Amino acid sequence: MAHDPGFWMLQALNALQLSMLLFLLSIGLTVIFGLMHFVNLAHGSLYALGAYFGASAAAVGGFWLGFFVAPVAVAGVGVLLYSGLIRRMRKSGPMAQVLVTFGLIFALLDLTRLFWGDLALAIQVPQILAGRTALLGIEYPTYRLFIIGLGLSIFAALAFVLSRTQIGAMIRAGVDNDAMAACLGINVERLFFIVFCVGCALAGLAGVVAAPLLSVTPDMGLQILIPTLIVIVIGGLGSLKGAVAGSLIFGFVQTFGAVLAPQLASVLIYALLAAVLVIKPVGLFPAKG
């Protein structure tokens, strides 16, 4: 089996699919950090909320309704969080932010249980994405290909927005030096708000697209949080490049680790993280010098 090129192809696609899912989550978290120096540990909870909103909407109007409702609804939650908590916590140190968002994790966890109960929910994959597709000599689940495609298109869209549009230039200026950006007449406060909401929407999107692969449970947000944090610490907080690199590294190390060294698989990624922290304490592609 190990000498079968199709097998490795399959693993590579699995790794890529995991990477893309993590990318959707980490990009929001990392840009919010880069711009606002705010670490939102509750980002995973937003992902879980996305899955729940998606599952509820899908139960009414099918997968595609859920697919569009989830990011919008989670962005709505983001608006509430931003105006209620985040805006007031911006000037606090990292510890206060970590604690407040840790409190949010607790609160959101129980709120999802309160609204949706403890039982796992499921989302059906739509007909068009069900089944398998032949690709480069192997049969691969169409839905997973859809996730890869979605991740790549979001990446392309973000890269375009960041490098070619005015709002992208404003965000880059804000990441480099928010005080200077404010001096240049950029409405930094509004920029933060928009970026925060987009980050939340992407987390919600990640939740709803991950839902058919996993079951939707209250603790799914907790489970995804650690991989997401590893991605952005390896990649370097605040940079698009870092989020991409971190996601790919995590996806491939995790997937191939499980195949090549099953005993070490779970520890491998943490060992890699430790190595990165020793050699480059601020990650591989930090946003600033």
Partner 1 sequence: MFRHNALRYAVLVVLLAAALFQAFTAEYFGLEILTEILILAILVLALDIVAGFGGMVSLCHGALMGVGAYAYALLSAKAGIAPPLAMAGAVALTGVTAWAIGAICSRSHGIYFIMATLAFGQMAYSYVFEALVFGGDDGLGGIARLDLGLFGIDLNDSRSFALFCLAALGAVYGAAVLILRSGLGRSLSGVMHNEQRMRALGLTVWRVKADVFGLSGMIAGLAGALAAQHIMYISPGLLSWTVSGEALVVVILGGLGTLVGPLVGAAAFVVLKHELSGLTSYWHLVVGVILIAVVMSRANGIFGWIEARWGDRIERRVADATRKPEPEEATSDA
In the complex, the residues that contact partner 1 under the rule CB under 8 A are 33, 39, 85, 88-89, 92-100, 102-111, 113-114, 222, 226, 229-230, 233, 237, 263, 266-267, 270-271, 273-274, 277-278, 281-282
Task: Considering the complex, state which of residue 179 and residue 278 has its C-beta at the smaller distance from partner 1.
Answer: 278
Q: Are 123 and 211 in contact (CB under 8 A)?
A: yes
Least Å distance, CB 257 to partner 1, is 12
Least Å distance, CB 88 to partner 1, is 7
Reference 143, options 156, 128, 123; nearest CA is 128
Least Å distance, CB 266 to partner 1, is 4
Task: Considering the complex, state which of residue 108 and residue 188 has its C-beta at the smaller distance from partner 1.
Answer: 108
Q: Are 34 and 239 in contact (CB under 8 A)?
A: yes
Q: How far apart are CA 125 and CA 261, in angstroms?
A: 32
Least Å distance, CB 120 to partner 1, is 17
Task: Considering the complex, state which of residue 60 and residue 114 has its C-beta at the smaller distance from partner 1.
Answer: 114
Task: Considering the complex, state which of residue 83 and residue 187 has its C-beta at the smaller distance from partner 1.
Answer: 83
Least Å distance, CB 29 to partner 1, is 11
Reference 32, options 227, 234, 244, 232; nearest CA is 232
Residue 140 is inside which H or E element, if any?
A: strand 138-141
Measured N-to-C along each axis, helices 43-61 and 94-116 cross at an angle, to the nearest 10 degrees, of 20
Q: Which DSSP category does 125 fall into? A: P
Reference 287, options 7, 58, 37; nearest CA is 37
Least Å distance, CB 227 to partner 1, is 9
φ, ψ (nearest 5 deg) of residue 135: -150, 125
Q: How far apart are CA 158 and CA 143, in angstroms?
A: 22
Q: What is the CA radius of gyration of the chain?
A: 19
Task: Considering the complex, state which of residue 185 and residue 262 has its C-beta at the smaller distance from partner 1.
Answer: 262
Task: Considering the complex, state which of residue 145 and residue 265 has its C-beta at the smaller distance from partner 1.
Answer: 265
